[in-house]
Amino acid sequence: VAIKSLRPGQNVENICVLNSTMVGFAFADGITIGFETNGPVMKDILARNCDIVLSGGGNAVGRHSAFSIIADGPGWVTDVRFENLRVEAAVDRLFELHVTDGSAYVKRGPGHIRGVYLKDITWAAAKPIILSGLDDNHLVEDVVFDHCTVAGQPLRRDMTDIVTIDPFVRNVTFKTP
């Protein structure tokens, strides 16, 4: 599933992905919000009760993730919830929030990611989780990991071999059981 905003004036709102099994063969995530975030706002997006079996291949920010938000255009991605997702395979990356410079597909400049809530996410294998803003004006902010596990262990901020948070990410919270 790829949720995009292709046109500069196009808002994307109130999207639900429910009760699905995702298989991202070559060059695909299980669920992606972005790559083409050209509209002013992408908001109120929910993915709930899904199994992600496979994702893989390369892309403009390295490798594909089980699920991700890639803000590569000037739009704001906000108020996104991922709930009760199970990532069953040893994917290249578990999860990623990434603000790019906007040069990979369009020349409209970077955006912003705010308000991402992850609850009851289970990743079977220990692979990278990447949170990456671009600069002080194009941030990733207000991210909550609530009762998430990686390889059977509660996800914590101090799992630096898994979790990478760059200097342009603000207000990340980890809640464990």
Q: What's the rounded Cα separation, in Å, for the pair 24 and 58?
A: 12
pLDDT confidence of residue 99: 93
Checking if the pLDDT of 14 tops 70, the result is yes
Q: What's the rounded Cα separation, in Å, for the pair 138 and 99?
A: 7
Three-class secondary structure assignment of 160-176? CCCEEECCCEEEEEEEC
pLDDT band with cut points at 50, 70 and 90 for residue 32: confident
Q: Are 56 and 89 in contact (CB under 8 A)?
A: no
Q: Are 76 and 44 in contact (CB under 8 A)?
A: no
Report residue 80 as tokens: 């996104």
Which residue in 99, 79, 109 sits closest to 168, CA to CA? 99
pLDDT confidence of residue 25: 66
Checking if the pLDDT of 73 tops 70, the result is yes
pLDDT band with cut points at 50, 70 and 90 for residue 6: confident
